[in-house]
Amino acid sequence: MCFTMNNLSLSLLGSFQATLDENPITQFRTKSVQALLIYLVCEAERPHHREALMELLWPGMPQASAQANMRQTLYRLRKLIPEVKGKGGETPVLSGVDATVPFLLSDRQTIQINPEADYYLDVATFATSEPAQAITLYRGDFLADFYLPDSEAFEAWVSGRRADYRRRVLAMMEGETAVHLQNANYDEAIQLARQQLDIDNLHESTHRQLMEALARNGRRQEALSHYNSLRQLLQDELAIEPEQETIALVQAIQEGELSNAGTPPAPQSIPPLADEPERPRHNLPQRLTSFVGREKEIATITELISQNRLVMLTGVGGIGKTNLCLQVGRKMLDEFPDGVWLVELAPIADPALVAKTAANTLGLRESPDRTLVSYARETQESEQRSILQILLDYLQEKQCLLILDNCEHVIEAAAQFVDTLLQATTGVKILASSREALGVLGEIPFRVPSLAVPGVHQLPAVNEWQQFDALTLFAERATAVSPEFQVTEDNFPSLVQICQRLDGIPLALELAAARVSVLNTAQIATRLDDRFRLLTGGSRTALPRQQTLRALIDWSWELLTETEQMLLQRLSVFAGGMNLEAVEAVCAGNGLDSYDLLDLLSELVRKSLVLSRREPGQPIRYHLLETIRQYAQERLVTTRQGATFRQRHLDYFMTWAKRAKPELTGPDQAMWLNRLEKELDNLRAALNWALETDCEAGLQLVTASWRFWDLGYVAEGEMWLAQLMAKADLVAPAIKAKALQVWATFNFSLFKREEARQLFEQSLTMHQALQDEAEVVNSLRFLTIFHGLIEGQRALLDLLSRLRKPGYELQLAETLLWLGYYEAQQNNYEKAEAFVRESESLFRKMNHLAGLADALQWFGQFATWQGTFEAARLPLEESLAIQKQLGERRVFSSLQMLGVLNLKLGNYPQAIQFLNESLALTQHSGAIAFGYWTFIHLGYAQLRLGAHEEAHQVFTKSLKQFNDVQEQIGVVFTLEGFASLAVTQKQAERAVRLFAFADQMRVALHDPRPFSEQADVERDLAAIREMIDQNTFDAAYAAGQALTIDEALAYALEDTD
Higher-pLDDT residue of 38, 559: 38
Lowest mean pLDDT among 174-183, 361-370, 400-409, 605-614: 361-370
Predicted confidence at residue 538, as pLDDT, reads 44
Closest among 250, 285, 284, 249 to 270, alpha carbons compared: 249
Which residues have C-beta within 8 Å of that of residue 704, sequence separation ≥ 6? Answer: 654, 657, 658, 660, 661
Residue count of the chain? 1057
Mean pLDDT of 44-65: 81
- Name the more confident of 640 and 999: 999
When pLDDT is averaged across residues 470-499 and rounded to a whole number, the result is 81
Which range, of 91-105, 191-205, 341-355, 929-943, averages the lowest pLDDT?
A: 91-105
- Sequence-ordered list of residues with C-beta below 8 angstroms from that of 1018, at least 6 positions apart, any chain: none
C-alpha–C-alpha distance, residues 253 and 270, integer Å: 10
Q: What is the mean pLDDT of residues 150-161?
A: 76
CB 308 within 8 A of CB 442: yes
Per-residue pLDDT at 587: 93
Q: At residue 379, what are phi and psi to the nearest 5 degrees?
A: -130, 140
Residue 748, pLDDT score: 87
**Residue 346 backbone dihedrals phi, psi, to 5 degrees:** -55, -40
Amino acid identity, position 628: I
Query: DSSP secondary-structure letter at 1008?
Result: P
Question: Cα angle vertex 94, ends 89, 99, to 5°?
Answer: 25
Looking at the predicted structure, is the pLDDT value of residue 96 above 60?
A: no
pLDDT at 111 over 80: yes
Which element (helix H / strand E) includes 763? helix 753-770
* Percent of the chain surpassing pLDDT 90: 29
Mean pLDDT of the chain: 83
CA dist 556 and 1036 (Å) reads: 80
**Which helix (H) or strand (E) element contains residue 627?**
helix 626-638
Q: Specify the range with the lowest mean pLDDT, choosing from 702-711, 921-930, 946-955, 990-999.
A: 921-930
Exposure string for 851-875, b = 16+ CB within 10 A, e = fewer: bbbbbbbbbbbbbbbbeebeebbeb
pTM above the 0.75 mark? no
The CA angle 874-878-880, to the nearest 5 degrees, is: 120
- Confidence at residue 94, expressed as pLDDT on a 0 to 100 scale: 38
Whether 317 contacts 435, CB under 8 Å: yes
Q: What single letter denotes the amino acid at residue 688?
A: N
Exposure class string for 1001-1033: b at 16+ Cβ within 10 A, else e: bbeeeebebbebbeebbeebbeebeeebeeeeb
Q: pLDDT confidence of 3, banded at 50, 70, 90?
A: very low
What SS3 state is found at 369? coil
369 has pLDDT over 70: no
pLDDT of 45 strictly over 60: yes
Q: What integer pLDDT is reported at residue 76 of this predicted model?
A: 85
Confidence (pLDDT) at 533: 55
Question: What would the pLDDT profile of 315-339 be if each residue is shown by its tens digit?
Answer: 877 788 888 888 898 888 888 988 8
What pLDDT, on a 0 to 100 scale, did the predictor assign at position 885?
Answer: 84
Cα–Cα distance for residue pair 431/694, rounded to 1 Å: 52
Helices (H), 425-491: 469-481
Task: State yes or no: pLDDT of 545 exceeds 60.
Answer: no
Give the C-alpha separation, 815 to 804, whole Å. 11
**What pLDDT is attached to residue 371?**
34
d(CA 623, CA 503): 12
Check whether 846 has a pLDDT greater than 80: yes
pLDDT of residue 201: 82
120: helix, strand or coil? strand
- Dmax of the chain from CA atoms? 130
Read off the pLDDT of each residue in 588-614 and give the average, rounded to a whole number. Answer: 85
The conformational region for residue 461 under phi > 0 = left, psi -120 to 50 = alpha, else beta, is: beta
Return the pLDDT at 1021.
94
Q: Give the mean pLDDT of 97-112.
A: 80
Q: Say if residue 39's pLDDT is above 50.
A: yes
Strand partners, 1054: none
Question: What digits encode the pLDDT tens for the residues 375-408?
Answer: 333 333 333 357 788 888 888 888 999 999 888 8
Buried b (16+ CB within 10 A) or exposed e, 90-102: eeeeeeeebbbbb
Kindly report which listed range (520-524, 601-605, 947-951) carries the lowest average pLDDT score. Answer: 520-524
- The H-or-E segment that residue 413 falls in is helix 411-424
Could you tell me which residues come within 8 angstroms of residue 454 by beta carbon, excluding any fewer than 6 positions away? 460, 468, 471, 496, 499, 500
Tell me whether residue 122 is exposed, middle or buried, using C-beta atoms within 10 angstroms of its C-beta: 0 to 12, 13 to 18, 19 or more: buried
Q: What is the pLDDT of residues 291-309, one digit of tens each?
A: 777 788 888 999 999 999 9
Nearest Cα neighbor of 536 from 128, 1044, 55 is 55
What is the arithmetic mean of pLDDT over 203-220? 87
**For residues 427 and 398, is the Cβ–Cβ distance under 8 A?**
yes
The reported pLDDT for the residue numbered 452 is: 80
Q: Which pLDDT belongs to residue 460?
A: 72
CB proximity list for 365: less than 8 A, separation 6 or greater: 130, 131, 175, 179, 359, 371, 372
Q: What would the pLDDT profile of 517-531 be if each residue is shown by its tens digit? A: 667 888 777 766 655
For residue 818, the tally of other CB atoms under 10 A from its CB is 20
Residue 545 or residue 952, greater confidence: 952
Query: What integer is the mean pLDDT of 277-286?
Result: 64
- 272: pLDDT confidence band, cut at 50, 70 and 90? very low
